[in-house]
Chains A and B, each alone.
Chain A
Amino acid sequence: MSDTTLLLCFLGSTLVTILPKVVPVTFLKGDSLPAVLRHWLGFVPVAVMAALVGPDVLFYEGQFNVGLSNLFLVVALPSLLVAWKFGNYFLTIAFGIGLVVLARWSGLY
């Protein structure tokens, strides 16, 4: 397709990416929201993180996979345990990446 179309896509996509990022935080009066809305927004972090990580773990190499051949799922379960037990952010990340590296180097995955 033409360069003009590509440029149009680029400008449009930039606009629809920046607007949702900046408009609420710039224009919402964060200190005078109704209580229900503040409670609702209070659940957004836990909900959005779960919504992002769930598919990351259960879709491996683009396929829905709940079996042992899904390395990310196999690694995620002990990672959750480490996160819960030690509550250490960097330790949990290093543990998870370390397990993935180990599994691949050992030839299991």
Chain B
Amino acid sequence: MSSPFPASEASGGPAPTVSAGRAFAEGLSRALPIILGYVTVGFAFGVLAVKNDIPPGLAVLMAVSMFSGSGQFVFAGLWGAGAGALSIIAAVSIVNLRYLLMSAAWAPWMASLPRGIRFLLGLGLTDENFAVHITALQQGWRLRLTTLFTCNCATHLGWISGCAVGAFCGGLVSDVRPLGLDYAITAMFLALVVPQCVSRLHVLVAVFTASLSIALKAAGISQWNVALATVLGASLGVALLYKKYGWKRPPEGVSHV
């Protein structure tokens, strides 16, 4: 059974003992498909960055400090096109709006952790890390910091390595397409979005949001599309939920929190 609200400490009972080794292994297995995608996309970023007059060292620093595929690509693309500093920073902020939503969606699940830990986990937030962790939590996984940090660090290292290889030796690796790795991230999101659809309402929200995001992108709104579609999709979900339950408070656990 997936997806209650976050269990409170009182109702959850004591956490089952999981060895540090198993928690570490779980983090790595969670990270593995993400790393496949990150190394590939990171490589593509490194190549593009150098082609767009960003020094290879700075391209790698961006992978370290930003850890954001879409943000880094927007940066490199606009820099190569000769855009000014303000428009680059503004464009990066817009593609990053979705992180606000994801970070907020993590908050109820991580409320019991100290603030410093939540800050460090936030640094590791990417589309993919957000998705795998929140899915595990919704499915009743008991939060283990070892697993979270192992996954976040492993994917970050994969991302940095991919960017570094692309930036410093982009010529060495030829086409990754025969290995199908350009599809890895898409494959992962398909595998994650299906178990999200725990009710007909969730299916409706998924179809609506995906269509809206596609339509916005097709209309040329390619930096706003994810955040805007998500805000409207989640609002549609809540509106229908409250309509169904007649503006009384819907029962806890009806939507994933």
Contact = CB atoms under 8 A, between A and B. Distances in A.
Given A39-B257, A50-B233, A97-B184, A13 B88 contact: yes
Interface in B44-74: 54, 58, 61-62, 65-68, 71
Contacts of A51: 98, 209-210, 212-213, 225-226, 229-230, 233
A contact face: mostly helix, strand, loop, or mixed: helix
Nearest to A48: B230
B contact face: mostly helix, strand, loop, or mixed: helix
Interface in A17-40: 17-18, 20-31, 33, 35-36, 38-40
Given A96-B186, A101-B180, A25 B226 contact: no
Interface in B200-241: 202, 205-207, 209-214, 217-218, 225-226, 229-230, 233-235, 237-238, 241
Q: How large is the interface on B (under 10, 10 to 19, 20 to 34, 35 or more residues)?
A: 35 or more
A42 to B, nearest CB: 3
B122 A44 contact: no
Contact of B195 (A1, A30, A47, A87): A87
B183 A52 contact: no
Interface string B74-91: 010001001011001100
Contacts of B211: 54
B16 to A, nearest CB: 21
Contacts of A38: 5, 108, 257
A17 B214 CA distance: 23
Q: How large is the interface on A (under 10, 10 to 19, 20 to 34, 35 or more residues)?
A: 35 or more
Contact of A100 (B71, B138, B180, B254): B180
A90 B33 contact: yes
Given A9-B75, A30-B109, A39-B257, A46 B123 contact: no
A50 B105 contact: no
B206 A45 contact: no
A93 B104 contact: no
Interface stretch (B19-27, B112-120, B159-167): B112-120
A96 B190 CA distance: 9
A105 B178 contact: yes
